[in-house]
Amino acid sequence: MSNLNKLKPFCRNAEVDTVSGRIIIEFEKYDFSSDLYLTGVFAALRPKSLELTTAVKRLKAESNLELKDEARDTKVRAIFYFVHGNLYHPDEAVQTAAQTVNRVLENFGINVVLENYAIESSHVESMLINFADAEIQTAIAALPGLNRLINDLRAAQTDFEQSYVLFGDIKAEEGTLANATRIKKEVLSIINDDIVVHLRAMAKVDAAKYGAFARGVAEIIDAMNVIVKQRKSGGEGEGGTEGGTTTGEGTANQ
| Every domain of the chain and the residues it spans | 1-236
- CA dist 128 and 236 (Å) reads 42
Quick check: 192 and 68 in contact, CB under 8 A? no
Mean pLDDT of 7-30: 95
Across 48-75, average pLDDT: 91
pLDDT tens digits, 220-250: 999 999 999 998 777 554 444 443 333 333 3
Q: What is the pLDDT of residue 236?
A: 56
Residues of the chain with pLDDT > 90, as a percent, come to 74
Which is more confidently placed, 236 or 56? 56
Kindly state the average pLDDT of the residues 77-106.
96
Distance from chain centroid for Cα 180: 12
Is pLDDT larger for residue 2 or for residue 166?
Answer: 166
